Structures are given as C-alpha cells and as structure tokens.
Structure 1
Amino acid sequence: MSVKEESPGFPMSKSHFAKFDNFTPKDDATFDDEFARLASSQNWVPGSQVYTQERTIAMREELQLHYFSQTKQPDGKLTEEEQLEGYQNLCREVRIPVSDSIAECKKNLKNTLVNIVDLIDARRVQKDVKVWDDFEAFRAYTLQDEHRINMQEAKEDGGYLASLLQRLNGPRSRNRKGGKGHRSKSERGSGRIEKRRSASKQTRERPVKTEG
C-alpha cells in the first residue's frame, strides 16, 4: 500500500481516499463506489483480510472526518466536548433527540437501526439516511460477505466506529426500536465485524438504530 506524502504548500484533501498514490479520489462518489475503485487500484482482493482491514480503516476515518471535529490537541485526541459534538452530529443526521451526554447519545444511537455506510454517504453525497423499523430486513441488508469489519481497527482512534457497531447474528433484544438485536462485542452494521479469530463469531458493522 502506497500512501502519499503531503508536500508543503499543497494542502491535501483530508479524505482517507486522498492518501494513496496512483489514485484520484472523487468527492462526489459514494463510499462503496470509492472504496471499490481504491481496492482495485491497490490490488486488494474483496473478502481478503487486507481488504477487510483497509475497508474498516476507510470507514473509521471517513466517519470521523464527516462527524467529529479535527482536534487541535497536541496528542491528537478529541476533547470530551469535541466527542460530544460528534455524537450530537450523528443524532441530528438520523433525526433522533440530541442529548447533552455522550453516554445518552450513544445509547440512543444504538437503539436506532442505521447502516454506517449510509451515515458516511449522508455527508459525502447528501444522501438521506434510512432508519430501519424491520430488524430482519435490516439484518439481511447489512450481513453481506463483502461488508465484513475488522473489530481491532474499528476500535482505533477513539473507537467511534466501534461504538456504532451492533451484533446482528444473535436473537433480537427487546429494548431496541424497530429491530431487536442482542448486543455483544462483535457486531455488524454495514459490514460484518471480523474478530481476530479469538472467538468463533464474526460480526459486522453495527447499525446504529438511528438512521438507515
């Protein structure tokens, strides 16, 4: 994988897709279309470990770019206020009540069935986010082999992507609006989460039960 070096005086786009040599990003492309082009240019085979890892990294960085501010802290970590603002942005995007508490925002998001790629595309291509009411239909939509997620990567950089993942393989839980999935450490949403083989279960991007 070849990543571009940013040259002085030539600001590079902050999009994850602008970081690669021999690849010209399209800002008006959907996440799936853009990642498919990137994967082809980098020879990442769909379904492979590298493909899954790189797709998870791309989702994580695009989610943070579009919803969480770029902090000015020396350590690069978001302040609590910046984190709250990011989760509030997600709540607004999926049209659910905005809370003054990070924990409450996360809880409300987890109770809303939404595909994470749809959340990214809401900002990339101004696409309305669909909020699902039918859990089984949502699960069928999200549990596709090419949508696997690497849980280790999802937890990096503040764990914002991981916090939106939800388990779709187990029985439905009763406290979820619209659909009911029992939650566990590995989860699916717009892609399957791949837990490094320490456990036998694989999960996918966790759909936020907020907008789909």
Structure 2
Amino acid sequence: MENSNYFSRFPNFQPARSTSATTEFDRLASQRNWTQGSKKYRSERAKFLVSEFDAHFGTDATKLENWQALCVEVKVQSPTESITQCRKSKKALAKVHVNLVDLVDSRRTGKKLKRFPGPNALGDYTIRTGKIFPKSAAKKDGFLKALLRVIL
C-alpha cells in the first residue's frame, strides 16, 4: 500500500514506507515545528491517522471488500461472503479489542497486530503508550466506529 495522501501536502517531507505511522508523523511534526499537545499538533495528527486508516482499509463502509479486509486484519473468523454476513461480522468486531493506531501501523510495517483480552487491558496499553486514536474522528467512520472502545 502506498503512503497516504496526507503526506503529499508536504512536498519537502519524504516518509519511509514501512516505518511506524506515529514515528513518521512525529518526524513531520518536528520538521513543521508542531508542538506535541498543541491544537495544531492534535488537529494534524487526527487528519493523519484517519487518512492512514482510509488509505489501508478504504472509506466506503458499504463495500463488502473493505469489511472483509478489516475482518481479516483483526482475525474475525465470521463468514463475510455477503453484505448480510458482513453485518453479522460487525457484531463480532464488537468483541475485538485492538489499538487503532497499532492497526494502522500493522499495515504499514507488517508487524503482527496484538489483540487484547478485554477493554481494560486495551485501555491500560493505550494510556501507557499514548497511542490514542482521536475519538471524534473514529466516531465519523463506519469501520473505525466498529472498533472504537471506551478507555477508562
């Protein structure tokens, strides 16, 4: 998969294709002097993560192929040969606990995606690592929304 369109906005920045998304974004943020935690940094990071997800999994939540790719990635075994079966897979996705930033990275780097046994383990990991996908962005996307979890 090619790099997302996000980086094309910055012609002087050449992203490494197989490097972690967060590493590449942080490198860009440093080059652009975006201070971590600033409004600009958070806004650009949200745009970047959504762009990366869309580049890897598509943007059309009504396309069977996009749901199939997501189910394969998170190892949901439900049959997805039709849109109806795919809708059933959405219920199966509700039982999947993966970090959304790691999901994007697994596509970029080829690194195996870690599944967590439950929401508490996922929440602990997410907070400890700071790999937090912007909730407002995830709520807008059908694929991301299926994997969005409340972090306590």
Look up the match of 2:49.
Answer: 59
Q: Displacement of 1:46 after TM fit? A: 1.2
The one-character-per-residue Cα deviations of 1:57-106 (angstroms, maximum 9, x if unpaired) are 1111111111227xxxxxxxx372x2x22121111112112433343222
Which residue, 139, 148, 151 being the options, matches 1:165?
A: 148
How far the C-alpha of 1:16 sits from its partner, in A, is: 2.2
Q: Matched residues in 2 for 1:159 and 1:134: separation?
A: 21
1:153 corresponds, among 132, 137, 142, to 137
More helix per residue: 2
Give yes or no for contact 1:155–1:162 (8 Å, CA) kept in 2: yes
Q: Deviations over 1:127-172 (max 9, x none)?
A: 111111154332111025844444443345x443344211122xxx
The runs of 5 or more residues in structure 1 that have no matched partner are 1-11, 70-77, 170-212
Q: TM-score, normalised by structure 1?
A: 0.59
SS at match of 2:13: coil
The separation in 2 between residues aligned to 1:111 and 1:166, in whole angstroms, is 10
Instruction: Name the TM-score, length of structure 2 as normaliser.
Output: 0.80
Contact kept in structure 2, 1:113 and 1:131, CA below 8 Å:
yes
2:68 corresponds to which letter in structure 1? Q
Give yes or no for contact 1:46–1:146 (8 Å, CA) kept in 2: no
**Change in 2 beyond 3 A, CA 1:79/1:94:** closer
User: How many aligned residue pairs are there?
Assistant: 147
Aligned to 2:68: 88
Return closer, same or farther for 1:31/1:60 CA change in 2, 3 Å cut-off.
Answer: same
CA distance in 2, matches of 1:120, 1:56: 13
Deviations 1:156-209 (A, max 9, x none): 5x443344211122xxxxxxxxxxxxxxxxxxxxxxxxxxxxxxxxxxxxxxxx
Partner of 2:28: 38
* Counterpart position of 1:48: 38
Percent of pairs with identical residues = 33
Q: Distance in 1 between matches of 2:76 and 2:145?
A: 20
Specify the structure having the higher radius of gyration (Cα): 1
Unaligned ranges ≥5, structure 2: none
